[in-house]
Amino acid sequence: MRSTGSFYDVLGEDGQHYNCRVRGKMRLDDIRETNPVAVGDWVIIDTEHSVGSIVEILPRRNHMLRQSVKKTGHAHALAANIDQLIVIATLAFPRTSLGFIDRALISAEAFGIPQVVVFNKKDLLNDEGMEIFGYLKQLYSKIDVGCSLISALDEEQARIKEILQDKTSLITGHSGVGKSTLLNRISPLISQSTGIVSDFSKKGTHTTTFAEMFQLDEKTFVIDTPGIKEWGIVAMSSGELSDYFPEMRVLRQYCKFQSRCVHINEPHCAIRDAVEAGSIAPSRYESYVSILSGSDNRR
């Protein structure tokens, strides 16, 4: 349910919570992840002593990874065994970059995890902001990504609860987008710290410091994650990257060089033709090019 680095809060089949550590020999395994056990993992524990031991990690159905910011060549598992990714974004104060959203979406797409984008702080949007949301809703709906607009300060939690119901959901987003405020309003069992957004930098302060799973009812779990500044892509080759953009995946077979086409300078590229024709959004293609080039994509 929660990982703080050395200790793990494990929910047992008996409904009790156990404070556990990872058994030493497990750390010697060749794991290319900074955290050998992630929130959402199913594990076998030994409770013989006052502090339990995680003795085995059961096979994962899926997981969400991002590049480790501390250890080169390693990934950081945000969560495992999840049913959907929910990206909390804002169009004002602070503005979430489309590059960040797209990176999160394709990371989930790589593992076949459905995605939803929830734009928060509706109360701060003017007419132009509402028009931008309308455009983005149309853009993401075309690739089967759910898209909603809410204000966590208003009584609009019923819509979010409906999205979460009977699923294990991973919630992510930049600091300051209102993740913690929204979660606190969803359930009285959740009491996450909330921060403020700087008037100068238009960026939020980190209030959640580690991933934590909350149980809303017998079948509904929600995982909160620390605010993420940049989403580093893990282990995607140039040849497979376009497969995780649904609108590109259906077209790449029509490229002259098919699997060898990376959709940059190759002749008779169906994807670049689609961008020029307007059937692939320029912002999505820009995200693709930015990821392919390995840049930060901070736009």
Pick the CATH number of 2-61 from 3.40.50.10190, 1.10.3720.10, 3.40.50.12780, 2.40.50.140: 2.40.50.140
Q: Which two structure tokens, joined as six digits, stand for 71?
A: 């250890």
**Residues 102-160: tens digit of each pLDDT:** 999 999 999 999 999 999 999 999 999 999 999 999 999 999 999 999 987 776 667 88
Predicted confidence at residue 74, as pLDDT, reads 67
**Residues 64-76: tens digit of each pLDDT:** 887 765 655 567 8
Predicted confidence at residue 156, as pLDDT, reads 62
Give residues with Cβ within 8 angstroms of 277, minimum separation 6.
none
Which fold is adopted by the domain 78-224? Rossmann fold (3.40.50)
Give residues with Cβ within 8 angstroms of 254, minimum separation 6.
270
- Looking up tokens 């096979």 gives 59
Predicted confidence at residue 199, as pLDDT, reads 43
For the chain, give me the number of helices (H) and strands (E)? 7, 13
Between CA 27 and CA 14 the distance in angstroms is 27
Q: Residue 58 in contact with residue 42, Cβ under 8 Å? A: yes
Backbone torsions φ then ψ of 90, nearest 5 degrees = -140, 150
Q: Where are the alpha helices (DSSP H) in 242-298?
A: 246-249, 270-277, 282-293
The residues with which 21 forms a beta bridge, in sequence order, are 53
Predicted confidence at residue 165, as pLDDT, reads 94
Q: Give the count of beta carbons closer than 10 Å to the beta carbon of residue 132.
A: 16
Q: Of 235, 297, 293, which is closest to residue 101 (Cα–Cα)?
A: 297
Predicted confidence at residue 47, as pLDDT, reads 92
Averaged confidence pLDDT in the chain:
85
Q: Where are the chain's structural domains? A: 2-61, 78-224, 241-293
**Residues 182-240: tens digit of each pLDDT:** 888 887 777 655 444 444 344 444 444 578 999 988 999 999 987 676 677 776 788 89
Domain spanning 241-293, CATH architecture: Orthogonal Bundle (1.10)
Q: Residue 182 in contact with residue 88, Cβ under 8 Å? A: yes
Q: How confident is the model over 244-273, as a mean pLDDT?
A: 93
pTM of the model: 0.85
With a cut of 50, say whether residue 14 has pLDDT above it: yes
With a cut of 60, say whether residue 16 has pLDDT above it: yes
Edge-to-edge strand list for the sheet holding 8-11:
43-46, 52-57, 17-22, 8-11, 2-3, 212-217, 220-224, 168-172, 84-90, 115-120, 146-149
